[in-house]
Amino acid sequence: MMPNKQTDILFQLIQSLEKAEKRNFKLYIKRNSANSDLKIIQLFDALEKLPEYDEVALLKKLSSIAKPQLANLKTHLYKQILASLRVLKSDENIELQLNEQLDYARILYNKGLKIQSLKILERIKEIAKANGKFNFLAQVYSLEKKIETLHITRSIQEKADAIVAESNEVSQRIYIVTRLSNLALKLYGWYIKNGHARNPADEELVKKYFQENMPNYSGVKMEFYELIYLYQSWVWYAFIRQDFLLYYRYSQKWVDLFTAEPAMIAVERGHYIKGLHNLLNAHFDNRNFKKFDEVLAQLRHFSETPIAKQHENFRVHTIIYLYSAVINQHLMKGLFQQAISLLPAMEEDMKKFQLIVDPHRLFVFHYKSALMHFGAGNYDICIDYLQKIIQQPVDLRIDLHCYARLLHLMAHFELGNQSILESLIKSVYRFMAKMQNLTVIEEEMFQFIRNSFTIHPSKLPNAFKQFLRTIKQYENNRFQTRSFAYLDVISWTESKVQNTSMAHIIHEKYLASKHR
């Protein structure tokens, strides 16, 4: 199969470059390459102008390059672009700076200049310690111990003892950080695949894994990286279990780490924006309207700072999290029509970001867009968005696949498409049962929609009242109301009972909450 925009890594890299990066690459090549290497500039220019990767079109543009040469030239060009970026970006990234200095220390050591090498290692240690880079410190101590062990450097015994003690402390910290980061990653991976715990068995499985893999950190002075992965582990543990209060508490602790150490925002801006994103989600889940607006303002302010704009990856993810928050803000206030007016600009940006945005983010964006159109009564458009999820393989966010199909069924119910409803009910029910995603709420919904076929229109309002009484009794049961985290079934039913729009019902609830 011919490589395309999604699979050709060189094309992806070139398309991701900014103007300054492209200009720097050209200068770098002219300074560091032989005349024969200038062919890669021709290849670079040709790839930059292609709207999508097409090898046939590429070779037509490059008459001086034969097809057998292309693979080697592409590999060479890829390496040279990365080398130029390393030079350009070294001042912007602490890890790149540290690695550069460690390379210098190794070069000096290999030349026999051991004392100079040790002096550089001392400076590196100070920077690494200040930024909590314990994994990097392990490499520094390894080289330092090698020099001290193999060569006479006139070091005193106290220094050797100090190196051993510091090395042991770093090893302990690395162990704890590794255990905690593994735990956080595994829990997050579980959520990305399955969503919230579907039943007590799911919860018990997650609880057992959490307890068994939480390292013993008693007696250890927890610092930034230990704490951030500890809080992340608790965040995902609470979120999976739909313990939204606990989710809020640890999301707040996550963000508070950066408030206490603001210099770490530049070092770990990815963790910072993710923390703000989770804190916003926690306020959304708990319907903390005022706090939500405050944190959204904080994220907006950060998005305009040089730190947020410095790297394309973080700039894009900050924008995506802003979009997510703005959509949630409109969803919980019932302002569906206003949110819909913002969608075209958001979708345009999503297309621009397609090389950076992961499928999970797109799934969530499509689902939230569908919810807004459903709430606004645009059921046909809602179905179009849901099809973007339903047509994808079921290997990511099983929960969204399930509730996309349920919402798809409800949209057809609203449209009165009786001819397909019966078959839809069967297929959606089978799918959700297969994915072990059925709760009492979904069972009642399927039953209600199925029974509605035989109910006279004049008696439908009373049927909705009875349905509302049935589902409200489960309102405080976490496992039975799992669907409420994906779709506000109660507000939808109340809109039918009161013969008004779903948007009106939700907005009235928002206004009432402001006076409590």
Structural domain includes residue 184: no
Per-residue pLDDT tens over the stretch 30-60: 777 665 467 888 899 999 998 888 888 888 8
In which domain, by residue range, is 106 found?
93-155
Structural domain includes residue 278: no
Structural domain includes residue 17: yes
Question: How far is the C-alpha of 443 from the C-alpha of 437, rounded, in Å?
Answer: 10
* Intra-chain end-to-end CA distance of the chain, in Å: 61
Phi, psi of 242 (to 5 degrees): 60, 30
Residue 356 neighbours by CB distance under 10 Å:
15
Question: How far is the C-alpha of 52 from the C-alpha of 3, rounded, in Å?
Answer: 10
Mean pLDDT, residues 79-103 = 86
Verify that 404 and 456 share a domain, yes or no: yes
User: Given this model, what pLDDT does residue 4 score?
Assistant: 42
Structural domain includes residue 215: no
Structural domain includes residue 55: yes
User: Given this model, what pLDDT does residue 33 score?
Assistant: 66
Work out how many domains the chain is built from and give that number.
3
Mean pLDDT, residues 385-413 = 92
- Of 155, 184, 204, which closes a domain? 155
User: Given this model, what pLDDT does residue 153 score?
Assistant: 52
Structural domain includes residue 59: yes
Mean pLDDT for all residues in the chain: 89
Residue 331 one-letter amino acid: L
Mean pLDDT, residues 311-315 = 86
pLDDT of 6 above 70: no
Mean pLDDT, residues 3-23 = 79
Q: Which of 153-167, 199-213, 217-231, 292-306 has the lowest mean pLDDT?
A: 153-167
Mean pLDDT, residues 283-294 = 94
Using CA atoms of 21, 24, 30, 36 in order, give the dihedral in degrees to the nearest 10: -10
Verify that 79 and 97 share a domain, yes or no: no
3-class DSSP state for residue 134? helix
Structural domain includes residue 136: yes
Across 3-17, 353-367, 424-438, the highest mean pLDDT is recorded for: 424-438
- Of 113, 132, 155, which closes a domain? 155
Verify that 75 and 100 share a domain, yes or no: no
pLDDT of 82 above 70: yes
Verify that 65 and 105 share a domain, yes or no: no
Question: How far is the C-alpha of 244 from the C-alpha of 291, rounded, in Å?
Answer: 15
pLDDT of 462 above 50: yes
Mean pLDDT, residues 192-219 = 89
- In this prediction the pTM is 0.83
Helix (H) or strand (E) holding 446: helix 440-452
Question: How far is the C-alpha of 112 from the C-alpha of 108, rounded, in Å?
Answer: 6
pLDDT category at 3 given cuts 50, 70, 90 is very low
Verify that 29 and 107 share a domain, yes or no: no
Verify that 102 and 39 share a domain, yes or no: no
User: Given this model, what pLDDT does residue 481 score?
Assistant: 66
Using CA atoms of 296, 302, 303, 308 in order, give the dihedral in degrees to the nearest 10: -140
Verify that 492 and 429 share a domain, yes or no: yes
Place of tokens 């907005």: 507
Place of tokens 């999503």: 350
Verify that 19 and 142 share a domain, yes or no: no
- Of 107, 134, 155, which closes a domain? 155
Per-residue pLDDT tens over the stretch 94-111: 888 899 899 999 999 888
CATH code of the domain in which 405 resides = 1.25.40
pLDDT of 5 above 60: no
User: Given this model, what pLDDT does residue 424 score?
Assistant: 95
User: Given this model, what pLDDT does residue 333 score?
Assistant: 95
Per-residue pLDDT tens over the stretch 381-398: 999 999 999 998 888 788
DSSP 33-65: S-GGGGHHHHHHHHHHH-SS--HHHHHHH-TTS
Mean pLDDT, residues 268-275 = 95
Verify that 410 and 455 share a domain, yes or no: yes
Q: What is the CA radius of gyration of the chain?
A: 28
Verify that 72 and 99 share a domain, yes or no: no
Q: Which of 49-58, 268-277, 279-288, 376-385 has the lowest mean pLDDT?
A: 49-58
Per-residue pLDDT tens over the stretch 446-456: 999 999 988 98
Q: Which of 139-153, 331-345, 462-476 has the lowest mean pLDDT?
A: 139-153
User: Given this model, what pLDDT does residue 151 score?
Assistant: 63
Verify that 17 and 151 share a domain, yes or no: no
Q: Which of 9-13, 195-199, 340-344, 467-471 has the lowest mean pLDDT?
A: 195-199
Helices vs. strands in the chain: H and E counts, helices first: 26, 0
Mean pLDDT, residues 171-192 = 91
Verify that 52 and 131 share a domain, yes or no: no
Structure tokens at 448: 């209600």
Structural domain includes residue 284: no
Question: How far is the C-alpha of 147 from the C-alpha of 114, rounded, in Å?
Answer: 7
